[in-house]
A = this chain, B = another copy of it.
């Protein structure tokens, strides 16, 4: 393949996709990494594109990713730990429901079981899921602007058509007496139904959510297995008396 051809192909692919990985280009052109790197360097010199770690991007590009990055730096370590732990429960062939929310979003990179199918109400989850080539179904319904979660009657109707091996739900409060809670009743209904439709339900929450309760109840403690990252022994015993609980070690 001619240099000229490669350059053209690279720019075309880039125009189409906004960002391209080096490996994709290696595949698309059947040439070596070295060659592609040289191409990218040259094209960058010619101001045709911008190199980024792992590939290349269009010159003038939005910084959506940046804002996502900024947003997620805070509790991310803890959430990722929980997410990674939770992802281990997913087995080959499982049909799982992934609740909207950052913790469940973090699970996706660790979903390495084969032949799984994912249903979710989180629009933000889509990109990551498709990136991993996981067949994905989205619930219908009303879009909640702030969280980009699908809620309402449409979401419940959609959900009723499925049943799951496992579901993974993010919550805002876990409380010995009040069970699992979240601030938005509409979201609570979706989470609640997802739990009912699953053979096994997992609730993901970092330690700041323990012994807290918020407005809308999702389910009773015993309806799900808790996955969290910290809990002193005294409380652990109290919770263990009521339901299964997994505490992820740091």
Contacts and interface: CB of A to CB of B under 8 A. Distances in A.
Interface of A: 2-5, 8, 11-12, 15, 18-19, 21, 48, 52-55, 57, 61, 65, 68-69, 72, 123, 126, 129-130, 133, 135-143, 145, 148, 150, 152-155, 157-158, 161
Given A123-B126, A142-B135, A158-B157, A11 B65 contact: yes
Residue among A11, A19, A138, A155 having the largest count of chain B Cβ atoms under 10 Å: A138
Contacts of A19: 2, 4-5, 8
Contacts of A54: 2-4
Nearest to A148: B126
Nearest to A142: B137
A56 B56 CA distance: 26
Taken together, the copies of this chain in the complex come to 2
Contacts of A130: 143, 145, 148
A161 B53 CA distance: 46
A4 B154 contact: no
A78 B21 CA distance: 31
A157 B161 contact: yes
A3 to B, nearest CB: 6
A140 B142 contact: no
Contacts of A12: 68
Contacts of A4: 19, 52, 54-55, 57, 61
A63 B19 CA distance: 22
Contact of A68 (B15, B139, B143): B15
B139 A140 contact: yes
A138 B137 contact: no
A126 B142 CA distance: 11
Given A8-B65, A137-B141, 17 more contacts: A2-B52, A2-B54, A2-B55, A4-B57, A15-B68, A15-B72, A123-B126, A126-B148, A130-B143, A135-B142, A138-B143, A140-B141, A140-B150, A140-B154, A140-B155, A157-B161, A158-B158
A35 to B, nearest CB: 13
The 3 closest A-B pairs by CB, nearest first: A140-B140, A140-B158, A4-B52
